[in-house]
Amino acid sequence: MKHRELRASLIETALRMNALGLNQGRAGNLSVRVAGGFLITPSGMAYDAMRPSDIVEMKADGAVTGRRAPSSEWRIHLDIYAARDEAGAVVHAHPMFATTLACTGRPIPAFHYMVAVAGGRDIRCAPYATFGTRKLSVNALRALADRKACLLANHGIIALGTGLAEALDLACEVETLAAQYWRVLQIGKPRILPAKEMARVLKKFEGYGLPSVRLREAGLPSVRLRPAAHSLRATGREAGRASAPAKPRKPRKPRKT
Protein backbone atom coordinates (compact mmCIF):
# COMPACT_ATOMS: atom_id res chain seq x y z
CA MET A 1 0.00 0.00 0.00
CA LYS A 2 1.40 3.39 -1.04
CA HIS A 3 1.84 6.30 1.38
CA ARG A 4 1.07 4.24 4.49
CA GLU A 5 2.51 6.82 6.90
CA LEU A 6 0.62 9.70 5.29
CA ARG A 7 -2.60 7.69 5.38
CA ALA A 8 -2.10 7.07 9.10
CA SER A 9 -1.34 10.76 9.67
CA LEU A 10 -4.54 11.70 7.86
CA ILE A 11 -6.60 9.51 10.20
CA GLU A 12 -4.71 10.77 13.26
CA THR A 13 -5.36 14.39 12.22
CA ALA A 14 -9.06 13.68 11.64
CA LEU A 15 -9.37 12.17 15.13
CA ARG A 16 -7.55 15.14 16.64
CA MET A 17 -9.83 17.52 14.73
CA ASN A 18 -12.85 15.96 16.44
CA ALA A 19 -11.12 15.75 19.82
CA LEU A 20 -10.38 19.49 19.65
CA GLY A 21 -14.07 20.21 19.08
CA LEU A 22 -13.52 21.50 15.56
CA ASN A 23 -15.84 18.88 14.15
CA GLN A 24 -18.48 16.39 15.23
CA GLY A 25 -19.17 12.84 14.14
CA ARG A 26 -18.57 11.97 10.50
CA ALA A 27 -18.77 15.53 9.21
CA GLY A 28 -15.81 17.31 7.63
CA ASN A 29 -13.00 15.92 5.51
CA LEU A 30 -9.23 16.19 5.14
CA SER A 31 -6.67 15.67 2.43
CA VAL A 32 -2.91 15.79 1.92
CA ARG A 33 -1.00 16.29 -1.32
CA VAL A 34 1.10 13.49 -2.82
CA ALA A 35 2.92 13.23 -6.13
CA GLY A 36 0.39 13.41 -8.95
CA GLY A 37 -2.63 14.00 -6.73
CA PHE A 38 -3.74 13.74 -3.10
CA LEU A 39 -5.02 11.41 -0.38
CA ILE A 40 -8.48 12.17 1.03
CA THR A 41 -10.74 10.76 3.73
CA PRO A 42 -13.55 8.49 2.46
CA SER A 43 -17.22 9.42 2.30
CA GLY A 44 -19.54 8.81 5.26
CA MET A 45 -17.15 6.84 7.43
CA ALA A 46 -16.48 7.39 11.14
CA TYR A 47 -12.91 8.53 11.72
CA ASP A 48 -12.32 6.11 14.59
CA ALA A 49 -13.27 3.20 12.31
CA MET A 50 -10.89 4.20 9.51
CA ARG A 51 -7.82 2.23 8.59
CA PRO A 52 -5.01 3.34 6.26
CA SER A 53 -6.47 1.17 3.49
CA ASP A 54 -9.74 3.16 3.69
CA ILE A 55 -8.04 6.39 2.64
CA VAL A 56 -8.71 7.23 -1.01
CA GLU A 57 -6.06 8.35 -3.49
CA MET A 58 -7.22 10.77 -6.16
CA LYS A 59 -5.15 11.81 -9.15
CA ALA A 60 -4.99 15.35 -10.49
CA ASP A 61 -7.32 14.31 -13.31
CA GLY A 62 -9.95 13.03 -10.86
CA ALA A 63 -9.18 9.32 -11.21
CA VAL A 64 -9.71 7.41 -7.95
CA THR A 65 -7.76 4.51 -6.45
CA GLY A 66 -9.06 2.66 -3.41
CA ARG A 67 -11.89 0.54 -2.07
CA ARG A 68 -13.88 3.50 -0.75
CA ALA A 69 -15.60 6.46 -2.39
CA PRO A 70 -13.85 9.79 -1.72
CA SER A 71 -15.42 12.47 0.49
CA SER A 72 -18.38 14.20 -1.16
CA GLU A 73 -16.31 17.41 -1.06
CA TRP A 74 -13.50 15.93 -3.15
CA ARG A 75 -13.99 18.61 -5.81
CA ILE A 76 -13.00 21.43 -3.44
CA HIS A 77 -9.79 19.60 -2.56
CA LEU A 78 -9.02 18.83 -6.21
CA ASP A 79 -9.55 22.44 -7.29
CA ILE A 80 -7.54 23.89 -4.38
CA TYR A 81 -4.50 21.74 -5.19
CA ALA A 82 -4.77 22.69 -8.87
CA ALA A 83 -4.97 26.42 -8.08
CA ARG A 84 -2.65 26.70 -5.07
CA ASP A 85 0.81 25.22 -5.48
CA GLU A 86 1.73 26.08 -1.88
CA ALA A 87 -1.15 24.04 -0.42
CA GLY A 88 0.07 20.73 0.97
CA ALA A 89 -3.03 19.87 3.00
CA VAL A 90 -6.68 20.91 3.31
CA VAL A 91 -8.93 20.70 6.36
CA HIS A 92 -12.69 21.14 6.05
CA ALA A 93 -14.69 21.13 9.30
CA HIS A 94 -17.93 22.30 10.91
CA PRO A 95 -16.75 24.02 14.12
CA MET A 96 -19.42 25.54 16.34
CA PHE A 97 -18.64 29.26 16.34
CA ALA A 98 -17.26 29.63 12.82
CA THR A 99 -20.25 27.73 11.44
CA THR A 100 -22.63 29.88 13.51
CA LEU A 101 -21.17 33.01 11.90
CA ALA A 102 -21.23 31.33 8.48
CA CYS A 103 -24.95 30.66 8.92
CA THR A 104 -25.48 34.43 8.99
CA GLY A 105 -23.23 34.91 5.94
CA ARG A 106 -20.85 37.02 8.03
CA PRO A 107 -17.12 37.24 7.31
CA ILE A 108 -14.75 37.74 10.25
CA PRO A 109 -13.46 41.34 10.01
CA ALA A 110 -10.27 42.78 11.50
CA PHE A 111 -11.68 43.01 15.03
CA HIS A 112 -8.41 41.42 16.25
CA TYR A 113 -4.97 41.55 14.66
CA MET A 114 -4.75 37.73 14.64
CA VAL A 115 -7.28 37.68 11.80
CA ALA A 116 -4.16 38.19 9.65
CA VAL A 117 -3.11 34.60 10.42
CA ALA A 118 -5.46 33.56 7.60
CA GLY A 119 -3.48 35.66 5.13
CA GLY A 120 -5.50 38.87 4.82
CA ARG A 121 -7.27 41.67 6.65
CA ASP A 122 -10.44 39.58 7.00
CA ILE A 123 -11.66 36.00 6.75
CA ARG A 124 -14.20 35.89 3.95
CA CYS A 125 -17.43 33.90 3.88
CA ALA A 126 -18.09 32.12 0.57
CA PRO A 127 -21.70 32.30 -0.68
CA TYR A 128 -23.82 29.22 -0.10
CA ALA A 129 -24.00 26.39 -2.63
CA THR A 130 -25.06 22.75 -2.25
CA PHE A 131 -22.34 20.53 -0.79
CA GLY A 132 -20.30 18.52 -3.26
CA THR A 133 -21.11 20.77 -6.21
CA ARG A 134 -18.81 22.60 -8.58
CA LYS A 135 -20.53 25.85 -7.60
CA LEU A 136 -19.44 25.41 -3.98
CA SER A 137 -15.87 24.78 -5.11
CA VAL A 138 -15.89 27.92 -7.28
CA ASN A 139 -17.28 30.00 -4.39
CA ALA A 140 -14.68 28.60 -1.99
CA LEU A 141 -11.77 29.32 -4.33
CA ARG A 142 -12.92 32.91 -4.72
CA ALA A 143 -13.15 33.36 -0.95
CA LEU A 144 -9.68 31.82 -0.59
CA ALA A 145 -8.03 34.20 -3.08
CA ASP A 146 -4.96 35.58 -1.25
CA ARG A 147 -6.16 33.78 1.88
CA LYS A 148 -5.40 30.53 3.67
CA ALA A 149 -8.83 30.05 5.23
CA CYS A 150 -12.45 30.97 4.66
CA LEU A 151 -15.95 30.32 5.95
CA LEU A 152 -18.56 28.55 3.84
CA ALA A 153 -22.04 30.05 4.25
CA ASN A 154 -24.47 27.76 6.08
CA HIS A 155 -21.80 25.07 6.09
CA GLY A 156 -18.39 25.34 7.83
CA ILE A 157 -14.77 26.33 7.21
CA ILE A 158 -11.79 25.49 5.01
CA ALA A 159 -8.17 25.88 6.10
CA LEU A 160 -5.01 25.29 4.06
CA GLY A 161 -1.48 24.51 5.15
CA THR A 162 1.84 23.26 3.88
CA GLY A 163 1.06 20.08 5.81
CA LEU A 164 -1.68 18.53 7.93
CA ALA A 165 -0.46 19.98 11.23
CA GLU A 166 -0.34 23.51 9.82
CA ALA A 167 -3.79 23.25 8.25
CA LEU A 168 -5.29 21.94 11.50
CA ASP A 169 -3.57 24.66 13.54
CA LEU A 170 -5.04 27.30 11.24
CA ALA A 171 -8.51 25.78 11.58
CA CYS A 172 -8.09 26.09 15.37
CA GLU A 173 -7.07 29.74 15.04
CA VAL A 174 -10.09 30.51 12.86
CA GLU A 175 -12.48 28.86 15.32
CA THR A 176 -10.90 30.76 18.23
CA LEU A 177 -11.30 34.04 16.35
CA ALA A 178 -14.89 33.15 15.50
CA ALA A 179 -15.65 32.45 19.17
CA GLN A 180 -14.10 35.77 20.20
CA TYR A 181 -15.96 37.68 17.49
CA TRP A 182 -19.25 36.01 18.44
CA ARG A 183 -18.73 37.15 22.04
CA VAL A 184 -17.85 40.69 20.99
CA LEU A 185 -21.11 40.86 19.02
CA GLN A 186 -23.01 40.07 22.23
CA ILE A 187 -21.60 43.21 23.84
CA GLY A 188 -21.89 45.67 21.00
CA LYS A 189 -20.25 46.89 17.83
CA PRO A 190 -16.60 45.76 17.54
CA ARG A 191 -13.79 48.20 16.87
CA ILE A 192 -12.30 47.25 13.52
CA LEU A 193 -8.58 47.77 12.97
CA PRO A 194 -7.81 50.07 10.01
CA ALA A 195 -6.45 48.70 6.74
CA LYS A 196 -3.04 50.34 7.34
CA GLU A 197 -2.62 48.55 10.64
CA MET A 198 -3.61 45.19 9.18
CA ALA A 199 -1.12 45.74 6.33
CA ARG A 200 1.55 46.33 9.00
CA VAL A 201 0.54 43.17 10.86
CA LEU A 202 0.57 41.12 7.66
CA LYS A 203 4.09 42.35 6.92
CA LYS A 204 5.24 41.34 10.41
CA PHE A 205 3.60 37.93 10.00
CA GLU A 206 5.79 37.26 6.95
CA GLY A 207 8.72 36.69 9.29
CA TYR A 208 6.76 35.14 12.15
CA GLY A 209 8.62 32.13 13.52
CA LEU A 210 11.53 32.45 11.07
CA PRO A 211 15.16 32.44 12.29
CA SER A 212 17.29 35.50 11.52
CA VAL A 213 19.04 33.82 8.57
CA ARG A 214 15.76 33.14 6.80
CA LEU A 215 14.52 36.64 7.65
CA ARG A 216 17.54 38.09 5.86
CA GLU A 217 16.98 35.77 2.89
CA ALA A 218 13.38 37.00 2.71
CA GLY A 219 14.55 40.61 2.86
CA LEU A 220 12.89 41.18 6.23
CA PRO A 221 14.48 43.00 9.18
CA SER A 222 15.70 40.80 12.00
CA VAL A 223 15.78 42.00 15.59
CA ARG A 224 19.21 42.70 17.06
CA LEU A 225 19.42 43.36 20.75
CA ARG A 226 21.78 46.20 21.61
CA PRO A 227 23.80 45.81 24.79
CA ALA A 228 22.74 48.07 27.60
CA ALA A 229 24.90 51.02 28.60
CA HIS A 230 26.19 49.07 31.58
CA SER A 231 27.53 46.22 29.44
CA LEU A 232 29.22 43.23 30.95
CA ARG A 233 32.57 44.57 29.85
CA ALA A 234 31.94 47.93 31.47
CA THR A 235 30.59 46.24 34.58
CA GLY A 236 33.69 44.07 34.72
CA ARG A 237 35.99 47.11 34.58
CA GLU A 238 34.00 48.84 37.29
CA ALA A 239 34.07 45.70 39.40
CA GLY A 240 37.79 45.44 38.82
CA ARG A 241 38.31 48.98 39.99
CA ALA A 242 36.10 48.43 42.99
CA SER A 243 37.94 45.27 44.00
CA ALA A 244 41.49 46.67 43.54
CA PRO A 245 43.30 47.11 46.87
CA ALA A 246 43.55 50.71 48.04
CA LYS A 247 47.04 52.27 48.05
CA PRO A 248 48.39 52.87 51.59
CA ARG A 249 48.48 56.55 52.58
CA LYS A 250 51.70 58.15 53.75
CA PRO A 251 51.63 59.14 57.41
CA ARG A 252 51.30 62.89 57.97
CA LYS A 253 54.18 64.81 59.52
CA PRO A 254 53.37 66.25 62.93
CA ARG A 255 52.89 70.03 63.00
CA LYS A 256 55.45 72.18 64.83
CA THR A 257 54.09 74.09 67.77
In whole angstroms, give the CA distance from residue 110 to residue 66: 43
Query: What letter would DSSP give residue 70?
Result: B
Whether residue 5 lies in the annotated active site: no
CA-based diameter of the chain, in Å? 121
The catalytic position among 73, 86, 206, 238 is 73
Sign of CA dihedral 112, 144, 95, 90: negative
Q: Which own/partner contact pairs does 72-75 have at CB distance under 8 Å and 24+ positions apart?
A: 72/29, 72/43, 72/131, 72/132, 73/29, 73/131, 73/132, 73/136, 74/29, 74/40, 75/132, 75/133, 75/134, 75/136, 75/137
Pairing of strands 149-152, 125-126: parallel
Catalytic residues: 73
